[in-house]
């Protein structure tokens, strides 16, 4: 038992190993596999220090977003000075946008190698959730892998949250493989999306493990909303497009691996895609597995999923545990250095599907910053897949806030994915295939097929007013949708 090999600590005792100014790496790729008690105790310690007039903040590195007991608790306690690479917590977002927390937004596949290269400094403490840990230092993770293998390898001290809530059989779907740094990095030995190339455990020097904290807590993951009409329409447009691509011979009859970002739109699109029998059963090579994907695996419509996290509602996760013999060969949990690996995405021919905040008429996509300035969540893994996909698709409802915001704008207020990487744009109104299209033709396709009808006259008028050139823009008016929204609360003229 772990208690015989390592000290069993309370969360409060474990928190004493984390000091002001420490760089802390944690498990968690979404709320899946995120630590639940130790960082919450660190937040309480920070509050007490601040009350006493003492400084206490850490630099926090994770796999992606985490749960309220990690990102939320630390943000509310003013216990974070620096955060990377991705987040989705409201309290943390507010502090990033008011300048209280420095946030480094970067591609998820970059974080493990940045740690390997020393770009992010020394990791003082790693706090990682596991289903078990052996005296030899074999750490078997829970519902995500993320960057945990890298943090365990490089941290000076390690704290294990041993979570009894999760099924110990999770070890059967883990595949831990860490690419070596250059110049000794070999090609990934992946020939198919579901190939297993590593071990079921992370290896850590047992001398670094300062203690184990026992818990019995579910992941703090919410479910997904029932898809609305807009999401259903987007899903149908994507399904029609892929079916047509197969008919034209541009996608093989056996289909290609699919990646879908996290969120209600992606979850709804996957459900629609999986129910369309013009498209054969296909594998997923993705970064998150959502509820709809589990349903599609159970129905035989998805052959299996390679992922970094099981981002499931509590009910769906229990369904997986209750039918583990069915899912054991259909799910592979990998480090994000592999799940998001650009070389694998390009070679396997992954079709990427991600959600945009806004798209401009030439196909530039903003995934991160509202009105160009206020961080929403971060780029996450969307760039890892988009830049290297066989076909890259971006999806968004055409309007938000009852029509006060158009997702199709003259000029994106921030660009995460440029027109060289974005191939297909989809809203509930239609689909614009931008492949091999020059800028003016892209603009016509996006306005006519994707923009909400109420905004099409404004977009057409802008396009006609723009100067001549390869990619015409009227720089005096390029951001008038955004400035009008900031001044009046609507992109639509009064």
19 is catalytic: no
CA distances from 91 to 14, 35, 97, 156, 439 (A): 24, 18, 10, 29, 40
Question: d(Cα 211, Cα 148) in Å, to the nearest integer?
Answer: 17
Q: Angle 164-200-85 (CA atoms, 0-180°, nearest 5)?
A: 80
In this structure, the number of other CB atoms found within 10 A of the CB of residue 330 comes to 21
Question: d(Cα 368, Cα 284) in Å, to the nearest integer?
Answer: 24
The strand order across the sheet containing 358-360 reads 365-366, 358-360, 408-409
Task: Write phi, then psi, for 456 (nearest 5 degrees).
Answer: -60, -45
Question: d(Cα 83, Cα 401) in Å, to the nearest integer?
Answer: 29
Question: d(Cα 66, Cα 93) in Å, to the nearest integer?
Answer: 13
Q: Of these residues, 116, 161, 287, 419, which one is catalytic?
A: 287
Q: Where are the alpha helices (DSSP H) in 107-147?
A: 110-117
Task: Write phi, then psi, for 341 (nearest 5 degrees).
Answer: -70, 120
| 439-449 and 456-465 helices, crossing angle to 10° | 160
Question: d(Cα 137, Cα 473) in Å, to the nearest integer?
Answer: 59
Please identify which residue in the block is written with the tokens 């999923």. 305
Are 261 and 382 in contact by the 8 Å Cβ rule? The answer is yes
Two tokens, residue 203 = 């290896």
Please identify which residue in the block is written with the tokens 């409802």. 397
First vs last Cα of the chain: how many Å apart? 68
Please identify which residue in the block is written with the tokens 């974005």. 422
Please give the positions annotated as active site.
287
């Amino acid at each position: 038992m772990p208690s015989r090999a390592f000290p069993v600590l309370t969360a409060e005792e474990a928190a004493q190993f984390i000091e002001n100014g420490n760089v802390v790496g944690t498990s968690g790729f979404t709320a899946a596999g995120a630590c639940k008690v130790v960082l919450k105790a660190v937040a309480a310690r920070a509050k007490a220090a601040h009350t006493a007039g003492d400084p206490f903040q850490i630099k926090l590195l994770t796999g992606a977003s985490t749960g309220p007991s990690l990102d939320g608790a630390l943000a509310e306690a003013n216990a974070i000075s620096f955060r990377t690479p991705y987040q989705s917590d409201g309290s943390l977002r507010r502090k990033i946008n008011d300048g209280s927390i420095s946030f480094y937004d970067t591609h998820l596949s970059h974080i493990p190698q940045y740690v390997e290269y020393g770009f992010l400094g020394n990791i003082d403490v790693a706090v990682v959730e596991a289903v078990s840990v052996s005296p030899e230092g074999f750490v078997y993770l829970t519902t995500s892998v993320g960057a945990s293998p890298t943090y365990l390898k490089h941290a000076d001290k390690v704290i294990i949250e041993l979570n009894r809530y999760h099924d110990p059989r999770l070890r059967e779907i883990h595949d831990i493989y860490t690419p070596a740094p250059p110049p000794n990095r070999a090609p990934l030995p992946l020939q198919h999306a579901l190939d297993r190339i590593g071990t079921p455990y992370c290896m850590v020097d047992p001398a670094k493990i300062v203690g184990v904290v026992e818990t019995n807590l579910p992941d703090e993951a919410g479910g997904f909303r029932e898809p609305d009409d807009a999401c259903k329409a987007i899903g149908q447009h994507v399904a029609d497009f892929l079916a047509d691509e197969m008919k034209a011979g541009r996608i093989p009859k056996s289909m290609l691996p699919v990646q879908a970002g996290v969120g209600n739109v992606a979850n709804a699109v996957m459900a629609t895609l999986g129910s369309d029998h013009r498209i054969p059963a296909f594998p997923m090579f993705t970064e998150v597995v959502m509820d709809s994907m589990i349903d599609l695996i159970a129905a035989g419509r998805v052959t299996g999923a390679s992922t970094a996290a099981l981002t499931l509602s509590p009910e769906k996760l229990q369904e997986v545990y209750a039918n583990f013999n069915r899912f054991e060969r259909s799910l592979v949990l990998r480090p994000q250095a592999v799940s998001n690996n650009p070389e694998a995405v390009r070679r396997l021919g992954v079709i990427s599907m991600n959600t945009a905040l806004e798209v401009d008429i030439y196909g530039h996509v903003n995934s991160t910053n509202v009105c160009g300035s206020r961080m929403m969540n971060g780029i996450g893994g969307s760039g890892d897949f988009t830049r290297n996909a066989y076909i890259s698709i971006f999806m968004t409802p055409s309007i938000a806030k009852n029509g006060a915001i158009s997702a199709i704008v003259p000029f994106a207020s921030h660009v995460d994915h440029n027109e060289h990487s974005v191939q297909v744009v989809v809203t509930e109104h239609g689909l614009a295939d931008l492949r091999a299209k020059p800028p003016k033709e892209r603009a016509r396709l996006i306005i006519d097929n994707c923009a909400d009808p109420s905004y099409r006259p404004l977009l057409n008028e802008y396009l006609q007013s723009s100067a001549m050139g390869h990619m015409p823009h009227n720089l005096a008016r390029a951001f008038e949708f955004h400035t009008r929204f900031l001044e009046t609360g609507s992109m639509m003229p009064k």
